[in-house]
Chain A
Amino acid sequence: MSDFRNRIAVLDYGMGNLHSAAKALEHVALDSHVVVTSDPMEVDRADRVVFPGVGAIRDCMAEIRRAGFDQAVARAIKEKPVLAICVGMQALVTSSEENDGVACLDLLPGKVRYFGSDLRDQDGERLKVPHMGWNRVHQTIDHPLWHGIEQGTRFYFVHSYYVDVDDQSLVAGRCEYGQSFAAALAEGNLFAVQFHPEKSHTAGLRLLSNFIQWDGSL
């Protein structure tokens, strides 16, 4: 048993800056204990899990497997609240087009696709890739993690690939960038976001705070 009522494990598999996620959680997690960990056992022990990710998917997947987080995440999403962020969200589906094709965790059937080098908006204006900056998220379902966050609120994105799930009913929020793509997914205990709540100011902190209080039900 843990001494803390609310033990949050932030998965650290050696890729880039996972510390901003931990810092933002600490900021909103008053009576919680945030543990940045590279130990799958900590994931089993935690009350809730944050699965961040930045960088190239091939390296991320290699490090996730090497750390033993693949099994730990598969176990966690069955029994406790899990928040996956950016490449963490992408890692959940079947495979990614990035790095000439990479097998992912296959916990949700779907593919990670490239925005394309000739992405354009409705007016035919060329759009930059990566999709970098603050864009509107349209909440497509009512969910505890959206509570207190206005419809159409902007979150901070930085990515060149997006998740295309087979079962569109898993989509919890959408964003427009040349096309409509899944900004958030929800299934049972799992909530996944393509944007960075830890970098999305007030709305992002609210989402993290909602996650900390979420019991995993709808």
Chain B
Amino acid sequence: MSGLAKRIIPCLDVDAGRVVKGVKFVDIRDAGDPVEVARRYDAEGADEITFLDITASHEQRDTTLHTVENIASEVFIPLTVGGGVRTLEDIRALLRAGADKVGINSAAVKKPEFVKHAADKFGSQCIVVAIDAKQVSTDDGAARWEIFTHGGREPTGIDAVAWAKQMADYGAGEILLTSMDRDGTKNGFDLVLTRAVCSEVCIPVIASGGVGNLQHLVDGVLEGGADAVLAASIFHFAEYSIQDAKNYMAERGVEVR
């Protein structure tokens, strides 16, 4: 035990300034307000918050920045913002708005050096590389995962494990690893993928995609080897509070805050 707590990170999927998951399930008044949701997670003991901007149009960036600013004025835990980050200027604007870390996904696939420049400019501590990986079949039957972009529609031919390693070498401070096979299934993390990436890179890895119950969070840490676990729907739908998750994990030997 290093003393360092495993982190539980609720994720807000935000479209044009509104949280898109959970709208039907939470009190209507505050349903889709990311600031309200972030405040609730903060009060429940979240270790960080990830804000994923899924706004399709680039013109609505200002809404995103404004929302980030509002969250950062009230929530005093680390805030990661990802989605549509393409330029150093995008990163600067998000950091100025109050993000502590910025998630880079497609822009890194398009131009890996972007991660290097971003880490040089702003420091590795604020550069999170988000990886969307999908298992692909191989002739020898060994598990292999490939990077996909555009919400899992576009294959890139890039091996996910090698990519994670390259991104760490390029100065990423952290990897947000999402299994596209598991995302939305509630069947748990892809533990083999998580284990493969975690044992290959020396930077922290956040497991993501597939959490349907609290045991999945425990498995992500104990079996997958993840440093942090990310979930959206189980917290949005108020099936469990962050504190429920922490109690459950602590009872099973995971060090939590």
Contact = CB atoms under 8 A, between A and B. Distances in A.
The judgment on whether A and B are partners is yes
Interface of A: 15-17, 19-20, 23-24, 26-27, 54-56, 117, 121-123, 125-136, 154, 156, 158-160, 175-178, 196, 198-201, 204-205
Interface stretch (B3-11, B12-20, B29-37, B207-215): B3-11
B99 A17 contact: yes
Contacts of A201: 42, 76-77
Given A127-B2, A130-B124, A16 B95 contact: yes
A200 B5 contact: no
B72 A158 contact: no
A133 B77 CA distance: 10
A121 B2 contact: yes
A19 B100 CA distance: 9
Interface string B68-104: 0000111011100000000000000001111110000
A55 B122 contact: yes
Contacts of B23: none
B125 interface: yes
B210 to A, nearest CB: 22
B137 to A, nearest CB: 31
A133 B173 contact: no
A199 B7 CA distance: 14
Given A55-B123, A128-B227, A205 B3 contact: no
Contacts of A122: 1
Contacts of A196: 78
Nearest to B257: A134
A158 B202 contact: no
B112 interface: no
B78 A199 contact: yes
Nearest to A56: B123
Contact of A132 (B73, B74, B227): B227
B120 interface: yes
Contact of A128 (B74, B120, B204): B204
B180 to A, nearest CB: 24
B2 A20 contact: no
A23 B5 CA distance: 25
Contacts of B126: 16-17, 54
- Nearest 6 pairs of A and B residues by beta carbon: A55-B123, A17-B95, A134-B257, A121-B2, A134-B5, A158-B125
B227 A133 contact: yes
Interface of A is mostly: mixed
Given A158-B173, A201-B77, A129 B4 contact: no
24 contacts: A16-B126, A17-B95, A17-B96, A17-B99, A19-B97, A20-B98, A54-B125, A122-B1, A128-B202, A128-B203, A129-B202, A130-B173, A132-B125, A132-B173, A132-B204, A133-B5, A134-B7, A135-B3, A156-B77, A158-B173, A176-B2, A198-B76, A199-B76, A199-B78
B130 to A, nearest CB: 16
A24 B76 contact: yes
Contact of A130 (B47, B97, B204, B228): B204
B146 interface: no
B190 interface: no
Interface in B141-175: 173-174
Given A56-B120, A133-B204, 18 more contacts: A16-B123, A17-B99, A17-B126, A20-B98, A20-B100, A54-B126, A55-B123, A55-B125, A127-B2, A130-B204, A132-B174, A133-B5, A133-B6, A133-B7, A133-B228, A135-B4, A158-B125, A204-B76
Given A136-B3, A177-B2, A27 B228 contact: no
B143 to A, nearest CB: 22
Given A17-B99, A23-B98, A24-B76, A117 B174 contact: no
A54 B97 CA distance: 16
B1 A121 contact: yes
B202 A135 contact: no
Nearest to A137: B3
A90 to B, nearest CB: 12
A205 B124 contact: no
Contacts of B99: 17
Interface in B111-141: 120, 122-126
Contacts of A175: 3
